[in-house]
Amino acid sequence: MADLETFKEEVRAVIAEHLPPELRVGNRSDLPKEPLGKWINVMADRGWITPEWPTEYGGGGLDRKHAAALKAELKKVKAPVVSSFGVSMLGPTLLEYGTEEQKKEFLPKISNHTMRWCQGFSEPGSGSDLASLQCRAEKDGDEYVITGQKIWTTSADRADWIFCLVRTDFDAPKHEGISFILFPMHQDEVEVAPLTLIDGSAHFSQVFFNGARAKAEHVVGPLNGGWTVAKRLLQHERSTDGSSDGGIGGAAKESISDFVKRTVGMENGQLADATIRERLAAHEIDKRGLSLTMRRAAEEARAGQKGRDIGSLGKFRWANMVKNEQDIAVDSSGSQGLGWEGPGFDDKQLERTRKWLITRADSIWGGTNEIQMNVIAKRVLGIPE
């Protein structure tokens, strides 16, 4: 591996040559498609979409330091972050539990961003109690026949394949009859119905399986051992959530304090509304508490200092924090915070209102706040059930 400085220069050279200015604006949904596609290919050719995966599976073969340097260089120029369910969740799970054949078949296509994945976990009757899922997979020769329904499937309308939890043993206790299986979405027996949420967005779908087919060799991990695999995968999901700084908007967007300065105005150098002012300060102190605690969790782990797992607080406190930020934004706007679209409301207010709506979900998905607190009480604080 090249030494770190040489590698950084290499990254900078690639950026200079291949990353056009219109893509140097951070992550946005409206990036121009063609330049984005080209840039993704440039990244994929070097294995940089999955920098730490082995090169034989299409990864970059980089160690942690080099991968971090790559990420830092890309962040400096606000390059779009190329991520997907395949990259952040399925890939790491296959690396841990997949057979050699599965790794060879799927990882390169995830690394080069040509196979898009969706996640089939939740069902209408199985939200927080995920293990009660009912979607069935019945053996038929060297295939499984899948019948049932999934919900909250992100980007199901655009996915090529699904990683799915299905029940393969109907008599076993609920956690012990579940398998983790992969199959293609493009079959007549798979039906996708988009779901519109309270903020008007439609990134999720319901998915119906009416006898869809999966190859038996595409079960990941042991048959009926899918619960363990899924739990591991959800850890990847939670670590993605909790490590986010929760900064709605990011650097380019207006901070909550600037937003509130506009909505309630300033008087004698202070926000004109004393209650909003105190709520904002409380929010910013809470946000500090969260980010410093996540940093402390990492530093204590690195220093080998043992204690309770404070990282476990990340998900539910992050959810509370982002919800509270939007509460303050909308409350500070009064009736101007009620806009849905069109004239009468400025864009930033409209955006805050939609965020206020969609952030309600942060304390629900990825394990509700109540589930998070149950887990903390049991595993972290050791209170017997």
Partner 1 sequence: MAVILSEEQLMLRESAQTFLADQSPVTRMRELRDAFDDKGYTPEIWKQMADLGWLGILLSEDHGGSGMGVADLGVVLWEAGKALAPEPLLSTLLLGANAVRLSSNEAVQKDVLPAVAEGERVVALALEETGRFNPYNVETKVEGGAISGTKLHVLDAHVADQIVVVARASGAAGDRDGLALYLVDANADGVKITRNRRMDGRNAATVEFDGVEVGAERLLGDADLLDQVIDQATVGLASEMLGTAEEAFERTLQYLKDREQFGQKIGTFQALRHRAAMMFAELEFARSIVRDALSAVDEGREDASLCVSAAKAQASKAGRLIGAEAIQMFGGIGMTDEEEIGLFFKRLKAAELTLGDETYHQRRFAALQGY
Residues serving a catalytic function are 237
Among 9, 140, 299, 341, binds partner 1 (CB under 8 A): 299
Contact between 151 and partner 1 (CB under 8 A)?
no
# binding residues, partner 1 (CB under 8 A): 44
Residues 212-271 that bind partner 1 (CB under 8 A): 257, 260-261, 266, 269-271
Among 23, 89, 290, 319, binds partner 1 (CB under 8 A): 290
Contact between 293 and partner 1 (CB under 8 A)?
yes
In three-state form (DSSP H/G/I as H, E/B as E, the rest C), the secondary structure along the chain is CCCHHHHHHHHHHHHHHHCCHHHCCCCCCCCCHHHHHHHHHHHHHCCCCCCCCCHHHCCCCCCHHHHHHHHHHHHHCCCCCCCCHHHHHHHHHHHHHCCHHHHHHHHHHHHCCCCCEEEECCECCECCCHHHCCCEEEEECCEEEEEEEEEEEECHHHCCEEEEEEECCCCCCHHHCEEEEEEECCCCCEEEEEECCCCCCCCEEEEEEEEEEEEHHHEECCCCEHHHHHHHHHHHHHHHHHHCCCCCCCCCCCCHHHHHHHHHCEECCEECCHHHHHHHHHHHHHHHHHHHHHHHHHHHHHCCCCCCCHHHHHHHHHHHHHHHHHHHHHHHHHHHHHCCCCCCCCHHHHHHHHHHHHHHHHHCCCCCHHHHHHHHHHHHCCCCC
Contact between 300 and partner 1 (CB under 8 A)?
yes
Q: How far is the CB of 323 from partner 1 (least distance, A)?
A: 15
Residues 172-201 that bind partner 1 (CB under 8 A): none
Among 93, 149, 324, 372, binds partner 1 (CB under 8 A): 372
Q: How far is the CB of 364 from partner 1 (least distance, A)?
A: 16
Contact between 277 and partner 1 (CB under 8 A)?
yes
Nearer to partner 1, 230 or 271 (CB): 271
Q: How far is the CB of 267 from partner 1 (least distance, A)?
A: 11
Residues 17-36 that bind partner 1 (CB under 8 A): none
Amino acid identity of residue 305, one-letter, is Q
Nearer to partner 1, 197 or 310 (CB): 310
Contact between 317 and partner 1 (CB under 8 A)?
yes
Among 282, 334, 340, 346, binds partner 1 (CB under 8 A): 282
Among 292, 334, 338, 341, binds partner 1 (CB under 8 A): 292
Which residues of the shown chain bind partner 1 in the complex (CB under 8 A)? 257, 260-261, 266, 269-271, 277-278, 280-282, 284-286, 288-290, 292-293, 295-296, 299-300, 303, 305, 308, 310, 313, 316-317, 370, 372-374, 376-378, 380-385
